[in-house]
Amino acid sequence: AQSVTQLDSQVPVFEEAPVELRCNYSSSVSVYLFWYVQYPNQGLQLLLKYLSGSTLVESINGFEAEFNKSQTSFHLRKPSVHISDTAEYFCAVSETGTASKLTFGTGTRLQVTL
Amino acid sequence: NAGVTQTPKFRVLKTGQSMTLLCAQDMNHEYMYWYRQDPGMGLRLIHYSVGEGTTAKGEVPDGYNVSRLKKQNFLLGLESAAPSQTSVYFCASSYIAASGTQYFGPGTRLLVL
C-alpha cells in the first residue's frame, strides 16, 4: 500500500524568502505524484503534478517540484514566496493502474509573514 | 460552469440523528470521491465511485453509506451520527483514473453533539 509523509506540519517564512516543503512517499509500484493547495475555508486545488517525463514540474505561480525516484521524494520549492502563498499544502500519491485513489499526506501549513 | 458543489455548507447534528450530504458536478466526470479532513490527519477517503451506479469503500468507510444514482450526483449518508464523525467533508471528481486531477468542492462542516 502507498503512503505519504510530510515531515513538517508548519513552515514559517518571511516574504520574498525561499521555501521548501518536503514530501516522501512509499509504494511498491510506479506512482503519480501531486501537490494540492488549500486556502483558508476552501476546498483543495491542484498546484502541480508529475505523471512521467521530465522530473521537474512547475506551476503557473512559481512553485516547482522535483521527482526523485531514488530518494522517493517530491519536494515542493519556491524561490521567493508572497503573502498570498499562505495556505496548507498537501502532497498526494496514486499508484498507476488504479482507479485514481489518492493518498494524501497530513499537510504542511505555510505561513508567510512580512 | 459551477464545478463541484456541496450542500449543505454547515450542519449541526445530535448523536443518533441521520443526514445526507449532496455532491454535484457539472463536468461529466466518471469518478467521484468523498473525503473527510481532520486536523493533523490530512484527507482520508471514505467512499468513491468509478461511474454511475457504482460505489466502493475507501480507507474509512464505517458509519457512512453512499449512492450514485445519477452520474452528476454522489450522496454521502450518515445513518446514526456519532461525535467521531465531526469533521469537514469534501467531495471531489475526476475525469481520468489515477493520473487525473481531482476537482474539489468547497466542503461541508459537520458538528455532531
Query: Residues B45-83: pLDDT tens digits?
Result: 999 999 999 999 999 999 999 999 999 999 999 999 999
Parallel, antiparallel, or unpaired: how do β-strands B31-38 and B65-67 relate? unpaired
User: What whole-number distance in Å separates Cα of residue B47 and Cα of residue B63?
Assistant: 11
Does any CB of chain B come closer than 8 Å to the CB of residue A93? no
Cβ within 8 Å, pair A32-B107 = no
* Per-residue pLDDT reduced to its tens digit, B23-47: 999 999 999 999 999 988 899 999 9
Chain B residues near residue A23 by CB distance under 8 angstroms: none
Do the Cβ atoms of A96 and B99 come within 8 Å?
yes
> What amino acid occupies position A52?
S
pLDDT for B1 beyond 90? no
- pLDDT exceeds cutoff 90 at A25: yes
Q: Has residue A99 got a pLDDT over 80?
A: no
**Cell triple for B97:** 483514473
pLDDT of residue A95: 86
Under 8 Å between Cβ of A30 and B99: no
* pLDDT value of residue A2: 86
Tell whether A37 lies on the interface with B, counting CB pairs under 8 A: no
With an 8 Å Cβ cutoff, is B109 touching chain A? no
Dist. CA A67–CA B66, nearest whole Å: 35
Q: Are B35 and B60 in contact (CB under 8 A)?
A: no
